[in-house]
């Protein structure tokens, strides 16, 4: 844990950079770039070679730094001379004229002080969070070590038993070891995935903490404003502590019966701890809202708290806003769409089963056609990644079923130029896709495709990576889908790279980890009071939105749900 301690020590209050003892910082020398206590400030002034140095009271730093020229990032040749308290950013005269005219403006020095306070709060927040992540990694490491030890012990027992039974059980031994190895590989991969995610978050926090510390010690206001801007942007990602649940390895139990499997033994789950969890999964309904649509086929969350929703049966597309449990329609469009996705700039893309896309520009409100380099193939479900890449299904025009021609999933830029194509074969040598209906991606650019296999919506989840293609296929959970076929309707990736899937007809939600293992499932009807969960999206605060199929005519509901653990 030396790594954690060193990170934590870096966040203690700054000491005088001359005596390194007093933390009563009162002064700053601009030439030496030193923060000084009063005693060292007096000594510093007495040194003859320093008599030309500029030493000011730190209370006056804001006034001094506010005199710096801060070039506007938007308008070339303009300097920022005011601070917009509404948007918490520095602005130039053109910014005020074009965007911030009705906002509250204050002097740069005052804005600098406010920003410094914000940075201090950000820094304190990161200091509080870092130990939690380190404790999580330590717990994860202990679990991995104990399970690895158990894996070796169980393997030894199996091999010893094999010697006793010799040739009679050779094939069964092979099957047992393969099953145990597969379980261990899956568990190890799941643990490593969580550990890698945690490590990435830790490195990000350390980098951000270092940036904030440097900004707080800097004499340049531009550095402070930029640090605040970067930290505010990073916080919109709503990164939560890693919480994970893993299924323990089964235990080898030698058998005594005269049939081969029972004579050799079998793998049984542990009776004491069926699962190991860093934390529990939880979904809690916050509010529910009634719409005037028959069903909520798609949901797209915007950064300003509004939603775009669509109803495929009525071909209505609405932009809505919630207020006092009521749904207010901000804008309504009327056309059929097979997919909607929001770009990082706020432009809304529509797939309309044509060889091109439509884009609703957020600045002009105009609808623009975007070319598709795969034309004349028509477009289907669409998704836009965190890197602003468009992922979309393309195929020949015609009914979805029967599948006569292969469908492809492609990655393209916003100009419509194709960058990668997925159209290979699955593990059974069959075409990779039948009829993809939804697409999402995670923070590591892994792609998840909801692939419909026939007209009744029986389907599967096909996981792809950004380089090599197929990773795994999920066709439902045996505990849930014994009597009813897995019929996924929508999916969304969480900030922890888990995937949430709706199974409408079963009133179920499945949650998969990055290895394709179902780590949790919930009956939304019995446990949340949500019937026929259909569409999904997650906003920038981490709130899950669930749109439902109609329970009553023209009263399809939307639920906001607080999630934790995944």
- Using alpha carbons only, how large is the chain's radius of gyration in Å? 29
Label each residue of 496-523 as H, E or C.
Answer: CCCEEEEEHHHCEEEEECCCCCEEEEEE
The larger pLDDT score, comparing residue 264 to residue 37, is at: 37
Question: Average pLDDT for residues 443-454, to the nearest whole number?
Answer: 93
Residues 6+ apart with CB under 8 A from 99: 91
Statement to judge: residues 249 and 304 lie in one domain = no
Query: Are 332 and 478 within one domain?
Result: yes
Q: Classify residue 373: in a domain, yes or no.
A: yes
| Range(s) of the domain holding residue 488 | 280-564
327-347 pLDDT tens trace: 999 999 999 999 999 998 889
pLDDT above 60 (res 100): yes
Q: Which long-range contacts (CB under 8 A, 24 or more apart) does 390-395 make?
A: 390/341, 390/349, 390/357, 390/414, 391/439, 391/441, 391/447, 392/339, 392/351, 392/357, 392/439, 393/433, 393/436, 393/439, 393/449
Instruction: Write the DSSP assignment of 410-423 as a string of letters.
Output: EEE-TTS-EEEEE-
3-state secondary structure of 371: strand
Q: Are residues 336 and 225 in the same domain?
A: no
pLDDT score of 105 more than 50: yes
Say if residue 303 is in the same domain as residue 247: no
Q: Highest mean pLDDT: which of 50-54, 173-177, 247-251, 437-441? A: 437-441
**Domain identity same for 52 and 195:** no
Tokens at 208, concatenated: 């951000």
pLDDT at 383: 96
Structure confidence at residue 11 (pLDDT): 41
Q: Which residues pair with 57 in a beta bridge?
A: 27
User: Is 96 contained in some domain?
Assistant: no
Q: What's the structural domain count of the chain?
A: 3
Question: In terms of pTM, does the model score above 0.85?
Answer: no
Per-residue pLDDT band for 4 (boundaries 50, 70, 90) equals: very low
Q: Decide the pairing of beta strands 27-29 and 89-91.
A: unpaired
306 plus 237 within the same structural domain: no
**365 and 236 belong to one structural domain:** no
Average pLDDT, the chain: 84
Greater model confidence, 383 or 550: 383
Mean pLDDT of 232-236: 80
pLDDT at residue 262, rounded to an integer: 61
Domain boundary among 234, 253, 272: 253
**173 against 108, higher pLDDT:** 108
Task: Specify whether 232 is located in the same domain as 287.
Answer: no
For the cut 80, the answer to whether the pLDDT of residue 6 exceeds it is no
What is the number of alpha carbons within 13 Å of residue 460 lying toward its C-beta?
Answer: 14
Chain segment 527-548, per-residue pLDDT in tens: 999 999 999 999 988 999 999 9
Of 217, 235, 253, at which residue does a domain stop? 253
Among 1-5, 144-148, 438-442, which is the least confidently predicted range?
A: 1-5
| 290 belongs to a structural domain | yes
- Would you state the pLDDT for residue 99? 80
| Pick from 12-16, 132-136, 206-210, 447-451: least confident | 12-16
pLDDT exceeds cutoff 70 at 241: no
Judged against a pLDDT cut of 90, whether residue 52 lies above it is answered with no
Whether residue 81 is contained in a domain is answered as: no
pLDDT band, residue 279 (cuts 50/70/90):
low
Rounded average pLDDT over 542-558:
87
Statement to judge: residues 455 and 394 lie in one domain: yes
* Token representation of residue 373: 């380099």
Q: What is the pLDDT of residue 197?
A: 84
Of all residues in the chain, what percent carry a pLDDT higher than 70? 89
Inform me whether the pLDDT recorded for 447 exceeds 90: yes
pLDDT at 8 over 50: no
CA 233 to chain centre: 14
pLDDT at 5 (0 to 100): 35
Please report whether residue 17 resides in a domain: yes
Whether the predicted pLDDT of 10 surpasses 60:
no
List the single range of 111-115, 241-245, 311-315 with lowest mean pLDDT.
241-245
- Is residue 3 scored above 60 in pLDDT? no
Confirm whether 258 is domain-assigned: no
User: Is 27 domain-assigned?
Assistant: yes
Alpha-carbon dihedral angle through residues 185, 190, 191, 197, given to the nearest 10 degrees: 140
pLDDT in tens, 145-200: 888 888 988 888 888 877 776 766 567 777 888 889 988 988 888 888 888 888 88
Taking each helix axis from N to C terminus, what angle separates 170-217 and 221-235, rounded to the nearest 10 degrees?
150
Same domain, residue pair 324 and 385 = yes
CB atoms within 10 A of CB 534: 20
If asked whether residues 247 and 293 sit together in one domain, one would say: no
Is 512 in contact with 247 (CB distance < 8 Å)?
no
Measured in residues, the chain has a length of: 566
Same-domain status, 43 and 171: no
Q: Does some domain include residue 116?
A: no
pLDDT tens, position by position, 70-85:
899 888 889 988 999 8
4, exposed or middle or buried, with CB in 10 Å at 0-12, 13-18, 19+? middle
Instruction: Identify which has the larger pLDDT, 77 or 45.
Output: 77
């Amino acid at each position: 844990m030396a790594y954690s301690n060193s990170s934590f020590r870096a966040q203690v209050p700054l000491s005088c950079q001359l005596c390194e003892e007093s933390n009563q910082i009162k002064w700053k020398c601009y030439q030496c770039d030193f923060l000084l206590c009063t005693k060292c400030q007096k000594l510093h002034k007495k040194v003859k070679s320093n008599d030309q140095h500029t030493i000011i009271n730190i209370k006056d730093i804001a006034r001094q730094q506010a005199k710096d020229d801060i070039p506007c990032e938007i308008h070339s040749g303009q300097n920022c001379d005011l601070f917009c308290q509404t948007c918490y950013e520095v602005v130039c005269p053109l910014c005020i004229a074009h965007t911030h005219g009705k906002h509250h403006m204050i002097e740069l020095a005052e804005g600098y002080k406010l920003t410094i306070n914000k940075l201090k709060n950000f820094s304190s927040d990161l200091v509080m969070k870092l130990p939690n992540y380190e404790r999580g990694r330590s717990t994860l490491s202990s679990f991995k070590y104990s399970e690895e030890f158990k894996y070796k012990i169980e393997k030894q027992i199996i091999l010893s038993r094999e010697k006793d039974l010799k040739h009679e059980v050779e094939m069964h031994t092979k099957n047992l070891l393969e099953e145990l190895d597969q379980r261990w590989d899956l568990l190890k991969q799941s643990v490593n995935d969580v550990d890698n995610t945690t490590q990435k978050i830790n490195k990000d926090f350390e980098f951000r903490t270092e940036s904030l510390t440097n900004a707080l010690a800097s004499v340049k206001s531009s550095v402070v404003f930029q640090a605040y801007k970067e930290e505010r942007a990073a916080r919109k990602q709503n990164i939560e502590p890693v919480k994970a649940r893993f299924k323990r390895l089964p235990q080898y139990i030698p058998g005594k019966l005269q049939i081969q499997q029972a004579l050799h033994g079998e793998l049984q789950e542990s009776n004491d701890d069926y699962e190991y969890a860093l934390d529990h999964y939880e979904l809690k309904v916050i509010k529910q809202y009634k719409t005037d649509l028959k069903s909520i086929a798609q949901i797209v969350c915007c950064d300003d708290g509004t939603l775009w929703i669509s109803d495929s049966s009525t071909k209505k597309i609405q932009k809505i806003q919630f207020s006092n449990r009521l749904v207010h329609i901000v804008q309504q469009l009327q056309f059929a769409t097979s997919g909607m996705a929001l770009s990082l700039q706020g432009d809304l893309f529509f797939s309309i089963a044509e060889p091109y896309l439509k884009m609703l520009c957020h600045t002009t409100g105009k609808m623009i056609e975007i070319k598709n380099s795969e034309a004349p193939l028509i477009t289907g479900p669409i998704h836009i990644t965190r890197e602003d890449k468009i992922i979309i299904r393309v195929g020949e025009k015609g009914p979805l079923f029967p599948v006569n021609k292969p469908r492809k999933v492609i990655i393209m830029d916003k100009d419509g130029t194709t960058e990668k194509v997925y159209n290979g074969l699955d593990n059974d040598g069959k075409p990779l896709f039948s009829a993809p209906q939804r697409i999402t991606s995670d923070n590591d650019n892994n792609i998840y495709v909801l692939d419909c296999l026939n007209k009744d919506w029986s389907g599967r989840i096909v996981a792809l990576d950004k380089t090599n293609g197929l990773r795994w296929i999920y066709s439902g959970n045996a505990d849930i889908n014994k009597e009813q076929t897995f019929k996924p309707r929508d999916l969304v990736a969480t900030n922890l790279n888990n995937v949430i899937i709706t199974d409408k007809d079963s009133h179920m939600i499945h949650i998969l980890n990055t290895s394709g293992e179902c780590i949790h499932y919930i009956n939304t009807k019995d446990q949340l009071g949500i019937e026929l969960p259909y569409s999904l999206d997650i906003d920038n605060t981490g709130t899950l939105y669930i749109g439902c199929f109609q329970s009553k005519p023209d009263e399809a509901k939307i639920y906001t749900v607080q999630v934790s653990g995944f």
